[in-house]
Amino acid sequence: MIMGIITTGIISFTLISINIGFVSNFLVIWLKSWSMAYMIVIPVILLVGPIVQKLVNSMFKDAVTRQYDL
């Protein structure tokens, strides 16, 4: 969850600063965007994370096994 806070904060800050610039109400726009992004990304991480973990495990299972078989 901490990684979600950091990642969504950095990405939303970067994209808003590029797209609209540092306008007078930048902080309000950024905080609103950040909170919406966080509310979306946490369920996505919880749903997609295990699938990605299984994929990564299956991709590197043989490599890890070979390393310990030596």
Q: Domains of the chain: which residue ranges?
A: 1-69
Residue 14 — pLDDT band, cuts 50, 70, 90? very high
Handedness of CA 50, 52, 54, 56 (dihedral sign): negative
Cα gap 32→41, rounded to integer Å:
14
Cα gap 51→54, rounded to integer Å:
5
Look at residue 1 in the predicted model and tell me its pLDDT.
80
> Which pLDDT tens digit goes with each residue over 24-69?
999 999 999 999 999 999 899 889 989 999 998 888 877 666 655 5
- Cβ contact 37:6 at 8 Å: no
Look at residue 66 in the predicted model and tell me its pLDDT.
63
Look at residue 40 in the predicted model and tell me its pLDDT.
92
10-28: average pLDDT: 94
The structure's pTM equals: 0.65
Cα gap 10→1, rounded to integer Å:
14
